Amino acid sequence: MAKQQPARRWYKTYIAPFTRPLILGSSLVMLSLSVLFLADLLGLRTDTGEISRESRKVVVEALAVQLSTLASNGDLSDIQNTVSRFVLRNGDIHAAALVRDTGVILAEFGDTTQLDTRESESTATQLLVPIYDESRLWGEVRVVFAPMANRLSEMLWLGFVALCSLVAFTAFLSRALVQLDPGKAVPGRVDSAMNLFSAGVIVLDAKLRIVMANQSAAGIADCTASELTGRSLDDWPWQKEAGWQAPWTTTLHSGLAISDESLKLVRKGKEERLFQVSCAFVGDGDDGRKGVLVTLDDMTKVERQNRELKASLVKERQSQELIAEKNRELKILATTDPLTGIANRRTLMEELDARMNHALLEGTALSCIMTDIDHFKQVNDNYGHAVGDDVIRATAEVLQGLCRDGDILGRYGGEEFVIVLPGLDAAAAAQVAERARIAVIALAYGDRLAVEKLSSSFGVSDLSCGATDGSSLVDAADQGLYRAKEGGRNQVVIHAPSASGTVKPVAESAGESVIESVGNEELVREKPLDDVLMASVSDHLQARVLELEGLVQQRDHELSVVSEFDALTGMPLRTIFLQRMETEQIRAKRDDTLVGVISFALRDLDRLVSTFGYVLCDELVMDVVDRLQNGLRSTDLVSMLSAEHSLSRITSNEYAVLLSSLNDTTSAMIVVTRLKRLFSEPFVLGEEKVYIGANIGIAISSRSDQEATSLFAEASEARKLASIRSDKISHVFASNSLHVASDDYIRLESDLHEALENNAIETWFQPKFDLAKRQVTGMEALIRWKHETRGFVSPQLFVAVAEANGLIDKLSKRVLKATLQQIVVWRSMGFDDLRVSINISPMQLKAETLVEETLMALREAGVEGRQLEIELTETSVLDNPEQARHALARLQEAGVGISIDDFGTGYTSLSLLADLPLDVVKIDRLFINAVETSARSRALVGSVINMAHALNLRVVGEGVETNAQLEIMSQLGCDEVQGYLISRPQSADKITAFLVNQRISNQARRA
């Protein structure tokens, strides 16, 4: 290595500087020789050999004339003397001879061995000139010349010319290239300094050709820096989308600096490479000397690490979701009886202990019923275990049907069940148990169960037995059950140690059932006492009555289906709701949208009825309906054919909401969140404030065909699952994936609260470019939220969450405050004329405090109104145009600019546009995108610009992404443009650096 270093330094010092001139000089020499050969091929070059042959012929002919004259005199000595003198005087003549036609040599001189008498014609070295005596051949003169120049000598001559030309060209070009090659004009130490940059650095000329590149840039292109010269950076294999324009092209044409634009370099068989590209304008465009400085920062490794991290986060989230799903399944398995679906023994006792503690603390009643199916072993023995399972399930359904909201039903073990009844004492619980006893007997009727008869025994206890916890209360009920079985089964016994022993009838109308004291228990059973084991006639009659009641309920249900509107609330009932669902599903299939159904019920409605009475509870229902109809936007929800109401009443305590034209499930989650918020506020019942709970079930249709009844059933089942949850206001989605998404949405809502508290919401800015001044004159403030795990959350998503949860006002104030603070910063840096626009939502425009809060914020920040602009959409003014006009006029009087955003996509009439106090019209990007290819779009945009100018309004074109769009908008008279061509939205620090760079660039151009 030590020996190689001097040789390398010698090469760099003495050889390397001439490498490129030598290559170019060789090319020029080859070009010159090619021209000479071409001229020779076309016959344009004079043949020197032919000239020499002609001159030799003339000399020999002159000799022949002289010799023929001497021969006619017969003077042979003069002939010999003439021949010898001829040879001696001409150095390129080797020999000469005069030969008779008979072959006799009359005279010769020189190297006669070269004379070839056999040749009858002239050759390149020997010329023959005949001598005639009148018409007869007398003899001939033969002359041997030295050979003429051959091809080898010509090649040597050409080689000499080429070598001399090469030396001359190399010497000339070594100096000329200093002027032609900017890289040579840069001192070596500067070139070395550029090579210190790890990023690729490239300089482009006015035609976007590479004129200089450092070693990093050459490494990116897999070639040397000198090989890059003259090539186009556009020819590199960049990943291009439709309408893609290179950032250096944008910088060259607009003069704007571009920072950190991401570009991918894709090469076949190699890894994709990601670069952060920055471009700056160099030179002075006025005299044509301009170019672009491009830097390429390789972000491939960082991007790979980010992808790996993101993949890990996704896997972790999936694992967490899977764990959560498994936990839910395990919770159901751990808390639910697998055969009946009701609470298992452990869950039952936990819930009972909680209700016991509450009842003891509040001093309210609490009772417990324990029941056991009579002779259940015989059922299994006679009919099989499958029938036994059917009996257990049917009994559980009967008991579940008798339970109120808030009651607890659980399978205690085997054929034993326990019912916990908050708010009821033992006597009231005994009435429930008696109805359950009759209902169990009725189960044997009909074809549902394969048993001839069926009965159950019941034990009842309440807090009067002295129970201190759930176990002791169940033990007391179990003692009552034990007495019922001892007394002959199929009866109800109250365990009441303090009973006086008096006999109390259960119902005077029954005439058969009585409550009789038996020791420490009260027995509810049928007369006569001697036949308690068998169901009495009264039992059968009551069971028959129960069956008839079921038929009546079925008939009532059929009548309710026929009925359309609820008498109390005026809302549509089930039939019309399902019809509307079918209509919306047909439309959704046509429009490729979704339909959603929300089913909800009020919690503890029976308790409220028992506490406040039916009249007040009916008023409560009306208040609930009114609040929901006013709180839920009618554009979200539809269920009534001829009115704006959005609710349907399905049963006495089940309501439904139909969500139509959903593009995705997020809209449904927003409505659910808003629904829960409306329920969380108190209701006034009489003179008291009451907080009510709700069970909410949600089902979303798939994009395939699904019947309305099936979709509604899914929502109802989800509502029932929600009732099991402990939350006062709980919701469940019918789909597990949607439920996970719903939980994710709720987490997003919670995270948004935290982000607002922790100042994690950022305000970014996007420049507006004045087409006349060719510089940035304004900004638009845009909100951004970078979540710790989600990355950047779409503003459309979290703004919708903010609107649904009452956070939009707080969010907007944060943006306004940050914008005004940034205006103050820019003003201190000399950017005095920037006008910054902020977006306001329709909800803010409706707020009466918008004007006062905006003006107060301007005063507190010390910012003039002329530097602030309010952007609103067309549709935001349609609800109350007069209120909007008044509010906007007050802001305009204070100097605040008013802008209509996304013009052309809404429904604003021209008269309304003329009446509103506006300053700016922003043309939507949909129209801008088409101006390059559509003459009609250009005409339309031009008409909008002319109309706006006629109304003294400035025009801003949104979404300008190509130079062609920029130039077209300029030709059409647009005042300002905004879009990725100028700059993407960036943080305040980056946009400030952008402004500084533009100012430096403008100053350099004017200098």
Catalytic site positions: 415
Instruction: Answer yes or no: are the C-beta atoms of 267 and 221 closer than 8 Å.
Output: no
Using CB atoms within 10 Å of the CB of residue 949, give its burial: 0 to 12 exposed, 13 to 18 middle, 19+ buried.
Answer: middle
DSSP H or E stretch at residue 823: helix 808-828
Please state, in angstroms and rounded to a whole number, the distance separating the CA atoms of residues 416 and 485. 13
**C-alpha–C-alpha distance, residues 668 and 637, integer Å:** 10
Place of tokens 């020789």: 33
Residue 766 φ then ψ, to 5°: -125, 130
Burial of 233 (C-beta count, 10 Å sphere; 0-12/13-18/19+)? buried
Residue 842 parent element (H or E): helix 842-846
Do 467 and 574 form a contact (C-beta atoms < 8 A)?
Answer: no
Tokens standing for residue 896: 């605040």
Closest CA to 480 of 566, 371, 611: 371
Exposed e or buried b per residue across 61-79, where buried means at least 16 C-beta atoms within 10 angstroms of its C-beta: eebbebbbebbeeeeeebb
Question: Between β-strands 920-923 and 954-958, what pairing exists: parallel, antiparallel or unpaired?
Answer: parallel
The pair phi, psi for residue 553, each rounded to 5°, is -60, -40
What are the φ/ψ torsions at residue 316 (nearest 5 degrees)? Answer: -65, -45
Host H or E run for residue 493? strand 492-495
Q: What angle do CA 976, 980, 982 make, to 5 degrees?
A: 50
Tokens of residue 513, six digits? 């059932």
Which amino acid is it at 241? Answer: E
Among 516, 523, 412, 406, CA closest to 460: 523
List, in order, residues 6 or more apart from 791 with CB less than 8 Å away. Answer: 310
- DSSP, collapsed to helix, strand or coil, labels residue 835 as strand
Please give the Cα distance from 181 to 177 (Å, whole number): 5
Which is nearest to 639 in space by CA: 621, 624, 625, 619? 625
- How many CA atoms lie within 13 Å of 148's alpha carbon, on the beta-carbon side? 16
- List phi, psi (to 5°) of 378: -65, -35
CB 732 within 8 A of CB 722: yes
How many C-beta atoms lie closer than 10 Å to residue 959's C-beta? 18
3-state secondary structure of 612: helix
